[in-house]
Amino acid sequence: MADIPSDAPQHCPGTASEQAGKTSACQGCPNQNLCSSGATKAPDPAIEEIAEKMLTVKHKILVLSGKGGVGKSTFSAHLAHALASDATKEVALLDVDICGPSIPRIMGLEGEQVSGSGWSPVSYVEDNLTTCVMSIGFLLSSPDDAVIWRGPRRSGMIKQFLRDVDWGELDYLIVDTPPGTSDEHLSIVQYLSSAHIDGAVIITTPQEVSLQDVRKEIRFCQKVQLPIIGVVENMSGFVCPKCKNTSQIFPPTTGGAERMCEEMNLTLLGRVPLDPRIGKSCDEGKSFLTEVPDSPAAAAYHSIVQSIQAYCLSHVTREESAG
Tell me the C-alpha distance between 112 and 133, whole Å.
11
d(C-alpha 309, C-alpha 315), whole Å = 10
Higher pLDDT among residues 127 and 169, named by residue? 169
- On the question of pLDDT at 40 being above 70, the answer is no
pTM: 0.85
3-state SS, residue 12: coil
Rounded-to-integer distance, Cα 202 and Cα 64, Å:
5
The helix (run of H) or strand (run of E) holding residue 279 is helix 276-283
pLDDT recorded at residue 3:
45
H-helix or E-strand spanning residue 286: none
* Other Cβ atoms within 10 Å of 84 Cβ, number: 24
Contact 201, 62 (CB under 8 A): yes
Exposure string over 95-127, b if 16+ CB within 10 A, otherwise e: bbbbeebbbbbbbbbbeeeeeeeeeebbebebe
Q: Which H or E run contains 200? A: strand 199-204
- What is the identity of the amino acid at 185? H
Query: Which residue(s) pair with 234 in the sheet?
Result: 272
Pairing of strands 228-239, 199-204: parallel
Q: In the chain, what are the domain boundaries?
A: 25-322
Is the model's pLDDT at 20 over the cut of 90?
no
Q: How confident is the model at residue 11 (pLDDT cuts 50, 70, 90)?
A: low
β partners of residue 202 = 64, 231
pLDDT of residue 316: 66
Task: Please say whether the beta carbons of 248 and 237 come within 8 A.
Answer: yes
Query: Is the C-alpha dihedral spanning 228, 183, 208, 295 positive or negative?
Result: positive
pLDDT at 37: 57
CA 136 – CA 30 distance, rounded (Å): 29
DSSP 269: E
Going through the chain in order, the beta strands assigned E by DSSP cover 57-64, 91-95, 122-126, 129-135, 170-176, 199-204, 228-239, 246-247, 268-274
> What is the CATH number assigned to the segment(s) 25-322?
3.40.50.300
102, 164, 93, 177: which is closest to 131 by C-alpha?
93
- Would you call 217 helix, strand, or coil by DSSP? helix
The answer, yes or no, to whether residue 55 has pLDDT greater than 50, is yes
20/151: higher pLDDT: 151
Question: How many whole angstroms separate alpha carbon 70 and alpha carbon 231?
Answer: 12
For the chain, give the percent of residues with pLDDT over 70: 85
> What pLDDT was estimated at residue 98?
95
